């Protein structure tokens, strides 16, 4: 039976997809069928891979900490949530940053950026191995072993809901950066929490883009602390893609299942460098 975190995230995801349709996003963003296929397969793939990785994290905890089962179940609920959430979010920041700055690691995350549109459907768009190399599900599995199951459910709900919000297609938030009553609070808010305005700049290329910065998942304070925060006041990037045009030509299955499948079109390795978004 699906857990409440999965139900909430899926229902919200579908609701935002429907909103994108009726608001004309799909007509404005003319994307190739292969792009849509990557989006469509990514969420079911996540549903399969996530419990496997979490089970592995649980098993690793049992192997390395055999006497610690349910060892944290007496923590106050709020403190347990922080124990689950803070390392998860912190770890994601560093893995995400590594992916954008190391050519050997970039292909694991590249699929998320090969979309030519910024919209709800790309929220969970990833190469299948990204969910394995990023630490979140491993950590959550370990936390379940240590007795924080309910806390994990709440934290995964918050992360999932925020991720959908982060990738929503609306640009109406731009007024928040200019309105005299909201621009101050918005500035302070963005020092702590990641927003669509910050994240769509990270997805973009060309003018108003931030391909090397704004790596935070839910919290943006990691970018502030470690010097990768770039505040662009919600400006819209010139376009969305990765900088290697040959990668953009690869078929849908390559984006999903690299390195398990080979390139259909050979790429120039000199283009696949750390300065790529």
* Residues whose CB is less than 8 angstroms from the CB of residue 1 and which lie 6 or more positions away in sequence, other chains included: none
Per-residue model confidence as pLDDT tens digits over 153-206: 999 999 999 999 999 999 999 999 999 999 999 999 999 999 999 999 999 999
Burial of 71 (0-12, 13-18, 19+ CB in 10 A): middle
Please report whether residue 164 resides in a domain. yes
Residue 274 has pLDDT above 90, yes or no: no
pLDDT at 275: 43
Please report whether residue 272 resides in a domain. no
Please report whether residue 23 resides in a domain. no
Q: Do 157 and 9 contact (CB within 8 A), yes or no?
A: yes
pLDDT at 262: 80
Please report whether residue 208 resides in a domain. yes
Lowest pLDDT segment from 22-31, 216-225, 230-239: 22-31
Predicted confidence band of residue 265 (pLDDT cuts 50, 70, 90):
low
pLDDT at 266: 55
Please report whether residue 271 resides in a domain. no
Please report whether residue 245 resides in a domain. yes
From the CB of residue 236, how many other CB atoms can be counted at a distance below 10 Å?
16
Range of the domain at 116: 4-18+31-264
pLDDT at 29: 85
What is the rounded average pLDDT for all residues in the chain?
93
Count of domains in the chain?
1
Angle at alpha carbon of residue 227, lines to 192 and 206, rounded to 5° = 95
pLDDT at 272: 47
Please report whether residue 251 resides in a domain. yes
Residue 255 has pLDDT above 80, yes or no: yes
Predicted confidence band of residue 110 (pLDDT cuts 50, 70, 90):
very high
* Percent over 90 (pLDDT), the chain: 91
Residue 267 has pLDDT above 70, yes or no: no
Average pLDDT over residues 205-232: 97
Please report whether residue 256 resides in a domain. yes
From the CB of residue 43, how many other CB atoms can be counted at a distance below 10 Å?
16
């Amino acid at each position: 039976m699906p857990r409440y975190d999965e139900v909430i995230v899926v229902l919200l995801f579908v609701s935002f997809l429907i909103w994108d349709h009726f608001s004309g996003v799909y007509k404005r963003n003319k994307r190739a069928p292969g792009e849509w296929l990557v989006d469509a397969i990514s969420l079911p793939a996540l549903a399969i891979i996530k419990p496997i990785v979490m089970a592995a994290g649980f098993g690793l905890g049992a192997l390395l900490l055999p006497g610690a089962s349910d060892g944290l179940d007496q923590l106050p609920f709020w403190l347990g949530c922080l124990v689950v959430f803070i390392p998860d979010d912190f770890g994601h920041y560093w893995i995400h940053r590594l992916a954008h700055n190391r050519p050997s690691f970039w292909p694991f995350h590249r699929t998320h950026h090969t979309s030519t549109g910024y919209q709800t459907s790309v929220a969970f768009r990833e190469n299948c191995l990204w969910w394995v190399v990023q630490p979140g599900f491993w950590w959550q599995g370990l936390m379940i072993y240590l007795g924080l199951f309910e806390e994990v459910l709440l934290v995964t709900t918050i992360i999932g809901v925020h991720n959908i919000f982060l990738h929503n297609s609306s640009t109406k938030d731009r007024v928040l950066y200019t309105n005299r009553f909201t621009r101050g609070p918005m500035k302070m808010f963005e020092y702590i929490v990641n927003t669509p305005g910050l994240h769509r700049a990270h997805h973009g290329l060309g003018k108003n883009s931030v391909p090397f910065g704004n790596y935070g998942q839910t919290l943006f304070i990691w970018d502030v602390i470690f010097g990768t925060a770039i505040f662009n006041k919600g400006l819209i990037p010139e376009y969305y893609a990765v900088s290697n045009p040959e990668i953009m030509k690869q078929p849908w299955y390559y984006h999903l299942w690299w390195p398990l499948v080979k390139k259909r079109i050979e790429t120039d390795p000199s283009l696949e460098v750390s300065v790529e978004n």
